[in-house]
Amino acid sequence: AGSVPYPVSTLKFTPVAKNLLDRVTVPEGYSVQVLYALGDPLHADVPAYANDGTDIDFHRRAGDHHDGMEYFGLSSDGRSRDDSNSTRALLAMNHEAITDQFLHVNGTTPNPRPKRQSDKEMLAHGISIVEIQRKASGRFATVQSSTYNRRITPLTPATFSGPVAGSFWVRTLHSPTGTACRGTINNCGTGKTPWGTLLSGEENWAGYFTRSSTDDAARTAKSVVALNRYGRSAGSPSRHGWETSGTEDKYRRFDISRTGTSNDGSDDYRNEINTFGYLVEVDPYDPKCVPVKHTAMGRFAHESAAFGLPVSGQPLVVYMGDDARNEYIYKFVSQAVWNPADATPADPLSVGRKYLGRGTLYVARFNADGSGDWIALTIDNSAIANYSGYKFVNQADVLIHARLAADAVGATKMDRPEWSAVHPITGEAYFTLTNNSNRQVTPSSSSHSTVDAANPRSYSDSYAGGEAGSPGNVNGHILRLRERNQRANATQFEWDIYVFGAEAGANKQLINLSSLTAERDFSSPDGLWFSQATGIGWIQTDDGAYTDVSNCMMLAALPGQVGDGDTRTLDHGSLSVQTPVGAPPTRAQMRRFLVGVRDCEITGCCETPDGRALFVNIQHPGESISSDTIGTPQAWSSHWPGRMGYGNGGSMARPRSATVVVTKDNGGLIGS
């Protein structure tokens, strides 16, 4: 990291201690402000949030479970895009999911779900665009009357780009031609395109749909294979039971059991599920734009979308993860080559179609010697064309069932790929692998994988002390790769494991391989984002293993590059695994910067272009309540941010997901 020419080349702030407080803790000399919480009004005529379960109109308020987030600068007069403005901007963010109990007065009513509750829950999902301004006091505020403010929900009309558009698999009662769809669900990570638009990843969309226990008999064998592979076996219940609220289309669409007689599904809802699972592009500067789902980038549980450094005359590359146990790492390479004139387009979504509508989807295979291969997922790849597990018929079929195509080519099954991020100087791609309870030295079922070089840890076999009883890779790791000859469209790369999550006291031979100390130990990395202003990599956690000791957290990191470490051998007894490991981060290179509130996840990060304000999302505080009845406020684990004086509620307030702004009291660069 010493060679990285950034304003911040050595971390100097006082590390934040692990803690279980119900507040956001940051280093001495820094301040935290709550900016935008669940239910905050987005229009002048929307009443303040009552936060007692009576609020409605979530399509005109902040949604729940704030997640990935990007900053889009506005000109000082607010009329147009200005990437360099640090005082006036749009924040675009995902609202991944809901803590549904707190949205209702007395908790959640079981199936059949009341319409009123289902309507509210649907609209609390999706995406927000909200204008923010920095006041003379230095504090930020949302602009409630801004004409840019917008919510995109599971009901918002959307469209497709790429080979899946108009294909057999997306013909629905809503759009018999398969050209239109409705809404977006479970939006998790984000990306910012080189032309100034938002990409939003649809992650755990499959769980919102139900399929009857007798539906297998009504479908083709091939359709059953595909649905099972994406987690919708016959009889799977839906997460929220919205389909039980009525026969109206907006409820009924969440039951994908076959009821029609057509060959292509255009007379029922069986294909509704195929309209989700994409990266969705939104132009935040155009509140009327129709979101575009880019099908050439594949359909899976999308997290973030990280662009490689654009090079004039070369294709663009986007790195992506599929977050489920033993799923894969992907990249998309555009067919069009980058033209820098497209950075400030008149019609951004047509530029989006140009670069993201056509290209090649690759999946990663990691070899034990530190090399790797990108394998193209195309219908003319013989391993795909001749796959015994599923008969692919065309490229739309390959893309919509990318997981099956990746199975066919023997890609490496990973420990739950969450976010990807690209280092702004080295161009190396980083991937968080959050954890994997289905990783075993000797797999006990077909849903488990053995340890390998890229996923070398499993605690159940030989771990002494720590997470006893928690099988698999409990703490996760961060992997990075460098494309061969640094070409976006390379089919080979070199890789190593940048850092292993671990408790500081854990065994250094098998678990704490990066020698983490108490000022930087962490578990379950998830969000990952590099600051353009400082070069700092921000690592965010979504942890269940170390939460007995600390709430989820965010660390600052100044990584070196692939190959700066050594090869380690992990002796699992019956099996030993060699893996390339980066140099252990030093005190100057990694420290804990922030600890969140109780039972939250830290996710989503962006900054003002001057690097002097950092925006961070605090997701689902207090979500530990396990029953549909919310009980008494005294039983809730969090009352943030109400207890800190934000909004209605006070010390016994219902917890709310929220965006916070971190600033340095002397106005300096964040992390310096």
Residues 295-324 that bind ligand FEO (CB under 6 A): 303, 323
Query: Letter for the amino acid at 50?
Result: A
Helix, strand or coil, per DSSP, at residue 170: helix
**Residues recorded for the chain:** 672
**100 part of the interface to Ca ion, by CB under 5 A:** no
Select 67 or 373, whichever has its Cβ closest to ligand FEO: 67
Q: Which residue among 22, 373, 542, 543 contacts Ca ion (CB under 5 A)?
A: 542
CB-based contact 306:421 (threshold 8 Å): yes
**203 part of the interface to ligand FEO, by CB under 6 A:** yes
Select 203 or 373, whichever has its Cβ closest to ligand FEO: 203
CB-based contact 306:290 (threshold 8 Å): no
Residues 512-541 that bind Ca ion (CB under 5 A): 526
Helices (H), 445-514: 459-462
Shortest distance (Å) from residue 204 CB to Ca ion? 9
How far is 43 from 7, CA to CA, in rounded Å? 39
Shortest distance (Å) from residue 65 CB to Ca ion? 7
**496 part of the interface to ligand FEO, by CB under 6 A:** no
CB-based contact 469:348 (threshold 8 Å): no
Partner that binds at residue 601, options ligand FEO, Ca ion, none, CB closer than 5 to 8 Å by kind: Ca ion
Partner that binds at residue 119, options Ca ion, ligand FEO, none, CB closer than 5 to 8 Å by kind: none
Shortest distance (Å) from residue 227 CB to ligand FEO? 21
Select 100 or 119, whichever has its Cβ closest to ligand FEO: 100
CB-based contact 187:200 (threshold 8 Å): yes
**Residue 91: its H or E element:** strand 88-95
Shortest distance (Å) from residue 542 CB to Ca ion? 3
Counts for the chain of helices (H) and strands (E), in that order = 8, 32
**64 part of the interface to Ca ion, by CB under 5 A:** no
Select 107 or 476, whichever has its Cβ closest to ligand FEO: 476
**605 part of the interface to ligand FEO, by CB under 6 A:** no
> Encoding tokens for residue 266?
């255009």
How far is 536 from 539, CA to CA, in rounded Å? 10
**418 part of the interface to Ca ion, by CB under 5 A:** yes
Partner that binds at residue 203, options ligand FEO, Ca ion, none, CB closer than 5 to 8 Å by kind: ligand FEO
How far is 181 from 516, CA to CA, in rounded Å? 47
How far is 564 from 273, CA to CA, in rounded Å? 44
Partner that binds at residue 433, options Ca ion, ligand FEO, none, CB closer than 5 to 8 Å by kind: none
Q: Give the interface size with Ca ion as a residue count (CB under 5 A).
A: 4
Per-residue x/- track, 598-627, Ca ion (CB under 5 A): ---x--------------------------
Burial string for 102-133 (b: 16+ CB within 10 Å, else e) reads: bbbeebbbeeebeeebbbbbbbbbbbbbbbbb
In sign, the C-alpha dihedral spanning 37, 38, 43, 44 is negative
**96 part of the interface to ligand FEO, by CB under 6 A:** yes
List residues binding ligand FEO (CB under 6 A): 96, 188, 203, 303, 323, 418, 526
List residues binding Ca ion (CB under 5 A): 418, 526, 542, 601
